[in-house]
Amino acid sequence: MISFNNLVETVPITEFVKLLKPNASDLLLKDVFRLRHRHQVYLFVTLNKDKITDDQWIYFPELRFKIGRISEMKNFSKEMSPDGKTSLFIEFFCFEEDLVWQMSKEDLLILALKELEVLGIKKEDVRNVYHIKQKNVYPVYDLNYQIHLQKIKNYLDGFENLFYIGRPGRFRYNNQDHSLEMGMLAAKCIIDGKRYDIESVGNEEEYYEKGSVPNKK
């Protein structure tokens, strides 16, 4: 058993509830098992090419693609790649039972090169490939998830010294800046000895991901 005065946790809420002792009720665990996540498989591919696209990231929403999104890191910052080289971060969204989750690095690379052939990438352009798998990345918002999630939150809110935050901790599709704000608010709760409304973080009706900066002459 681990003793603590306060606990700030970012474990996926579906896993965290199952770690608690004494165990949560069987009825509550039924709600836990009804929440699902999408997993992700990543290929980070370094290339003997100066550039592939002008975009930071590109989504592939068509069902014919297994790839969900690519990011060319050099387009975020030139410091991300050596001169004359570039790299692609290739993401596959999947469930654990999907073939993509089971595929080897080599087979995934063959699949990715086939789907990205329109970009002119050939196997001989590839310098190296890194294969990463991550579970519980995206909460699945089905028609009934809020019903099950609220029951779990009601249970966890009964622990006065528990602060569950972030996308996995709250089963909430928020952005990184929102997760950081939740962390700072959790720290403020502990320092001030009072509860602030973590649930309200990121609930703005309007959210902007782009803007313009005046040219400096």
Instruction: State percent of the chain over pLDDT 90.
Output: 85
Surface-to-core class of residue 26, CB atoms within 10 Å of its CB (0-12 exposed, 13-18 middle, 19+ buried): exposed
The domain limits of the chain are: 7-35+141-200, 37-138
* Alpha-carbon gap, residue 111 to 65, rounded angstroms: 10
Kindly state the helix (H) or strand (E) to which residue 59 belongs, with its residue range. Answer: strand 57-59
* Alpha-carbon gap, residue 201 to 199, rounded angstroms: 6
The tokens 């720290």 sit on which residue?
Answer: 187
* Alpha-carbon gap, residue 3 to 101, rounded angstroms: 37
133 and 42 Cβ atoms separated by less than 8 Å: yes
At 17 the pLDDT is: 96
Q: How many other β-carbons are positioned within 10 Å of the β-carbon of residue 112? A: 21
What's the whole-number average pLDDT of the chain? 92
Give the strands of the sheet with 57-59, arranged side by side: 57-59, 69-72, 86-94, 37-47, 126-139
Q: Which of 89, 81, 90, 91 is nearest to 48 (CA)?
A: 81
Query: Does the structure show a pLDDT above 80 at 103?
Result: yes
At 42 the pLDDT is: 98
- What would the pLDDT profile of 14-51 be if each residue is shown by its tens digit? 999 999 989 999 999 999 999 999 999 999 999 999 99
* Alpha-carbon gap, residue 17 to 159, rounded angstroms: 12
Query: Does the structure show a pLDDT above 90 at 211?
Result: no
Task: Tell whether domain 37-138 is in CATH 1.10.287.130.
Answer: no
152 and 173 Cβ atoms separated by less than 8 Å: no
Residues with Cβ within 8 Å of 46's Cβ and at least 6 positions away in sequence, in order, are 81, 85, 86, 87, 126, 127, 128, 129
Largest CA distance in the chain: 66
Least confident of 45-54, 60-69, 173-182, 207-216: 207-216
